[in-house]
Amino acid sequence: GENVEQHPSTLSVQEGDSAVIKCTYSDSASNYFPWYKQELGKGPQLIIDIRSNVGEKKDQRIAVTLNKTAKHFSLHITETQPEDSAVYFCAATLDDKLIFGTGTRLQVFP
Amino acid sequence: GAGVSQSPSNKVTEKGKDVELRCDPISGHTALYWYRQSLGQGLEFLIYFQGNSAPDKSGLPSDRFSAERTGGSVSTLTIQRTQQEDSAVYLCASSWTGSGNTIYFGEGSWLTVV
């Protein structure tokens, strides 16, 4: 089955700096890669996603890149703000199921 | 409703008791998922329903766990003879169909087994 690895597990940045979170997946048949943000006590919320026929997607301060050959994808947050502090999860879809990475706790210090 | 609705939001139960957790998906969504999230951990897939197809139960951790989806809408996750290790947040999610469609999560049901 699919296995998703995510790094780093924790990330601390200064406000205004960029943050990068990286994930790898094992099954080349996976074709959909969403990123979720989870705040304390809340359910995960989708922030951006990418499909396997696209290499990069951007939405304001957030971008995601996908390298199908290497089977890895990354989340890039620019000009970080304190409200970006949360746990971020990557995921890969195989057989209609989302398999999640283990999460990255991002802390943005003012 | 506008989003995925779960109840109860919090549940404390004694070890050995049965619990039922309910999920109301977004109206019209045919795919429904249950995930479990232990404290500070990632999301563990439990079960997936898609329309009238047989559910994918491959993630259920033991035969004490079961789930139903009645009328293609509301789903109930049942945990029998609860154990302390069952303490976790149980998250429900739904989407229009399956693969490649945005999956929306509820706020979760926090289960504590004492």
Would you place residue B99 in the very low, low, confident or very high pLDDT band (cuts 50, 70, 90)?
low
B3 is written with which tokens? Answer: 């989003």
Would you place residue B1 in the very low, low, confident or very high pLDDT band (cuts 50, 70, 90)?
low
pLDDT of B30-50, one tens digit each? 999 999 999 878 899 999 999
pLDDT of residue A89: 97
| H or E segment to which residue B34 belongs | strand B31-37
Round to whole Å and give the CA distance between B78 and B72: 17
Say if the Cβ atoms of B105 and A98 lie within 8 Å.
no
Number of CB pairs, chain A paired with chain B, less than 8 A apart: 55
Q: Is B41 on the interface with A (CB under 8 A)?
A: yes
Among partner residues B4, B99, B108, which is closest to A96 by beta-carbon distance? B99
The shortest C-alpha distance from A80 to chain B (Å) reads: 23
DSSP class per residue in B38-62: -TT--EEEEEEEETTSPPB-TT--S
Taking CB atoms and an 8 Å cutoff, what residues of chain A touch B32?
A: none
DSSP class per residue in B15-36: TT--EEEEEEPPTT--EEEEEE
Taking CB atoms and an 8 Å cutoff, what residues of chain B touch A41?
A: 107
* B105 pLDDT more than 90: yes
Round to whole Å and give the CA distance between B31 and B50: 4
Residue A10 burial (CB < 10 Å; 0-12/13-18/19+)?
exposed
pLDDT of A31-68, one tens digit each? 899 999 999 989 999 999 999 888 999 999 999 999 99
Taking CB atoms and an 8 Å cutoff, what residues of chain B touch A34?
A: 102-103
Report how far apart, in Å, the C-alpha atoms of A36 and of each of A75, B50, B67, B84 are.
10, 22, 25, 28
Say if the Cβ atoms of B56 and A36 lie within 8 Å.
no
Would you place residue B52 in the very low, low, confident or very high pLDDT band (cuts 50, 70, 90)?
confident
Say if the Cβ atoms of A46 and B104 lie within 8 Å.
yes
Taking CB atoms and an 8 Å cutoff, what residues of chain B touch A98?
A: 33, 43, 45, 93, 103
pLDDT of residue B101: 79
> Among all residues of chain B, which has the CA nearest to that of A44?
B105
